[in-house]
Amino acid sequence: MSASAELQKAIYDALVADPTVHSFVADRIYDKMPAVGAYPCVTFGPSDEVTNDADCITGEDHSVQIDIWCRDQGRLNPCKKIVGAVKAALHDADLPLPDPYALVFIRVEFTQTMADPDGVSAHGVVSVAAAIDQA
């Protein structure tokens, strides 16, 4: 089992279940952007984990990037709305993880929205930090 994989599944499940996120992207939440994808959509970007053991507890600190992609003539505002919805769905959320993992916390550390060089796309980034303990 992998704490990182279980965290990604929990984040995915939370985003799929969130009515505001769903109102913007429907079921277009991908592990990897499909070759022919519809917009707007959400994809998982890079992630990393760092061992953080303490007092006989096995733990890891995780960092996950969630990417939001919009194509609205380069306008940033539609993308910012989705970034805000993703942040609201994840920040301090109580996400279930299967045994032997326990989520200590999940927080959105920062968000960013930028114009893409193609002139028609906007790219949003939601940076998530999480701590997971393992029994």
Please check the confidence at residue 1 and state whether its pLDDT lies above 90.
Answer: no
How many Å separate Cα 135 from the centre of its chain? Answer: 25
pLDDT tens digit string along 9-52? Answer: 999 999 999 999 999 999 999 998 888 779 999 999 999 999 98
E-strand spans in 13-120? 29-30, 41-51, 58-71, 101-115
CATH tag, 3-134: 3.30.2000.30
Residue spans of the domains in the chain: they are 3-134
The tokens for 18 are 């969130």
List pLDDT tens digits, range 42-97: 999 999 999 987 777 889 999 999 999 999 888 999 999 999 999 999 999 999 99
